[in-house]
Structure 1
Amino acid sequence: MKSAQQVFLDFMRSNSLSLTPQRKAIVETFLESEGHFSAEQLYERVGRRMSDIGQATVYRTLKLLVDSGLADAFDLGEGVTLYEHRYGHEHHDHLVCLVCGRKVEIVDAAIERRQEALAVEYGFTLTRHRMFLFGLCPGCADTARS
C-alpha cells in the first residue's frame, strides 16, 4: 500500500498541481491529526508549524485532500464541516451526542452485512457509505434524567 504522502503526491502530479511548502505543511499536519476536526482547528494547528499560511489555503488544501481520497468530509447538520482520515483507516460508522457533540467511532459486522444486503435487495452497487446515529451519550443522558 502506498503511503498517504505518496498518494497525495501522485494526485497532485496527475492534476498538474505543485506541492508548495504551505500545502506540504497542511498535509503533514492533517496526517498527524487524528479524530474529527474542522478546517478552523486544522488552521490553528498548521499555524503553530508555519505562521504565514492563510485560512483560504487550508480550505483549498483540505478540498484537495478529500479529492485525493485521503480525507473524508461530513457535516452533522450543525453547519460545520468536519474532516477525518479516510485512506489507510478502517471503515467505521459514528455515534454522535446531540448535547455535547461527542463522536464515537463504531465498527459492527452485522450492520455492515445488513447494509450490503439492503443494497442488493434494492439493486444498488455500493461504492461507499456513511452512517451516523444521533442520541445522547451516557453523561448527557444522566444529566437529562436529573
Structure 2
Amino acid sequence: MYKRILVATDGSKLSEAAVAHALNLADLTGAEVVALKVVPLYPQTYFEGGVGVDAEEIKRIEQQWQDEALQVVNAIKSEGQKRQVKVKAMTAKSDLVSEAIIAAAKRNKCDLIVMASHGRKGIKRLLLGSETQQVLTHSHIPVLVLR
C-alpha cells in the first residue's frame, strides 16, 4: 500500500503520537519512514531601534536548533530500528514549514505525509496559522492528520 511515509514532527507530545502512528503504519505495510523536522531561520529585525544580534550569535543559535532537531529525528530513527522499520532522519531549514514538508515528501518520493494538528480555533488559528492546513491545501500527496 505505502512504500515511503514522511512523518513531520515538531517534537511536541502531539507530534509524538503522529510519529507512533507513522511507525505503526510503516510496520504494517512494510514501508520506509522519512522523519522530518523543519528548523526555522533566526528572525531578523530591520526596524529602527531594533536590537541587532551579532552574526556569530545567530549562527550559534541556528546550529543549536539544528542539533536539537537532529536529536528529535534520530530518536525516531532509533525507535524505528527497534521495530525493524527503516527510518531516514532528516531536517530542513526554512521559515515556510508547510512548503518544506511538501518539498521533502516530493524529493523523497513519499506516498503519504503523516502529521499532527493542534486543532487551534478562532483567533489563535488566525494569529498562529496552521501548517497542517497549508500542507492539506497544497499537497498532491495524501495527508494523514492526527489530533
Shorter-chain TM-score above 0.5 = no
- Greater radius of gyration (CA): 1
Instruction: Calculate the TM-score normalised by the size of structure 1.
Output: 0.26
Higher relative contact order (CA 8 A, sep 6+): 2
Instruction: Calculate the TM-score normalised by the size of structure 2.
Output: 0.25
